[in-house]
Structure 1
Amino acid sequence: MPDANSLYGPLDPAPDAGWADAGPRMGFFTDTSVCIGCKACEVACKEWNAVPDSGFDLLGMSYDNTGALTANSWRHVAFIEQPRPAGHRTPPFAGSPTGAPATGDDTPPSAPTSGNDTPPPGGANGSQFLGMPGSQPPGRGTGADGRADFRWLMMSDVCKHCTHAACLDVCPTGALFRTEFGTVVVQEDICNGCGYCISACPYGVIDQRKGDGRAWKCTLCYDRLGAGQTPACAQACPTESIQYGPLDELRERAAQRVATLHERGVPEARLYGHDPTDGVGGDGAFFLLLDEPEVYGLPPDPVVTTRDLPKMYKRAGLAALAMVAAAVAAFVGGSS
Structure 2
Amino acid sequence: MLPDPNSLYGPLDPAPDAGYENAPPRMGFFTDTSVCIGCKACEVACKEWNGVPENGLDLLGMSYDNTGALTANSWRHVAFIEQPRPAGHGASPTDVLGAPVGAGPDRPVDAGTGAGTGPQFLGMPGAQPPGRGTGVEERTDFRWLMMSDVCKHCTHAACLDVCPTGSLFRTEFGTVVVQEDICNGCGYCISACPYGVIDQRKDDGRAWKCTLCYDRLGAGMTPACAQACPTESIQYGPLDELRERAAARVETLHERGVPEARLYGHDPNDGVGGDGAFFLLLDEPEVYGLPPDPVVTTRDLPKMWKRAGLAALAMAAATVAAFVGGSS
Which residue in the other structure is 2:112 paired with? Answer: none
CA contact (8 A) 2:47 2:53 kept: yes
Aligned to 2:185: 193
Whether contact under 8 Å (1:221, 1:231) holds in the other structure is yes
Q: Structure 1 residue 316 and structure 2 residue 317: aligned?
A: no
Q: CA deviation at 1:93?
A: 2.7
TM-score, normalised by the number of residues in structure 2: 0.89
Q: What is the CA–CA distance in structure 2 between the aligned matches of 1:166 and 1:247, rounded to whole Å?
A: 20
Q: Is 1:150 matched with 2:142?
A: yes
> Please, which of 134, 137, 160 is the counterpart of residue 152 of structure 2?
160
Question: 1:137-176: per-residue Cα shift (whole Å, max 9, x none)?
Answer: 688875xxxx521101000000000000000000000000
Contact 2:10 2:269 in 1 (8 A): no
d(CA) in 1 for partners of 2:70, 2:8: 29
State the AA in 1 paired with 2:63.
S
- Quick check: 1:306 aligned with 2:298? yes
Aligned to 2:288: 296
Q: For the aligned residues, what is the CA RMSD?
A: 2.3
Q: Secondary structure at the match of 1:249?
A: helix
Contact 1:110/1:126, CA 8 A, preserved across alignment: no
The residue type equivalent to 1:316 in the other structure is A
Residue-by-residue CA offset, 1:199-246 (whole Å, 9 max, x unaligned): 000000000001110000000000000000000000000000000000
Count of residue pairs brought into register by the alignment: 310
Residue 165 of structure 1 contacts residue 280 of structure 1 at CA under 8 Å; is this kept in 2? yes
Residue of structure 1 in register with 2:111 after alignment? none
| CA deviation string 1:90-149 (max 9, x = no partner) | 5533334xx22x4xxxxx324668xxxxxxxxxx9999x98724973688875xxxx521
Query: What is the alpha-carbon distance in structure 2 between the residues aligned to residue 16 and residue 27 of structure 1?
Result: 17
Residues 26-74 of structure 1, C-alpha deviations (whole Å, 9 max, x = no match): 0000000000000000000000000000101211131100000000000
Instruction: Supply the distance in 2 between the matched residues of 1:286 and 1:195 (Cα, whole angstroms).
Output: 25
CA spacing shift, 1:231–1:125, aligned 2, 3 Å = farther
2:82–2:144 contact (8 Å) kept in structure 1 = yes
> Are the structure 2 counterparts of residues 139 and 207 from structure 1 closer, same or farther at C-alpha, using a change threshold of 3 Å?
farther
Measure, in 2, the Cα distance between the counterparts of 1:13 and 1:185. 13
* 8 Å CA contact retained: 2:27, 2:239: yes
Give the equivalent residue in structure 1 for 2:208.
216
TM-score normalized with structure 1 length: 0.87
Aligned counterpart, 2:102: 109
Distance between the aligned counterparts of 2:64 and 2:322, measured in 1? Answer: 68
Q: 1:105: which partner in 2?
A: none
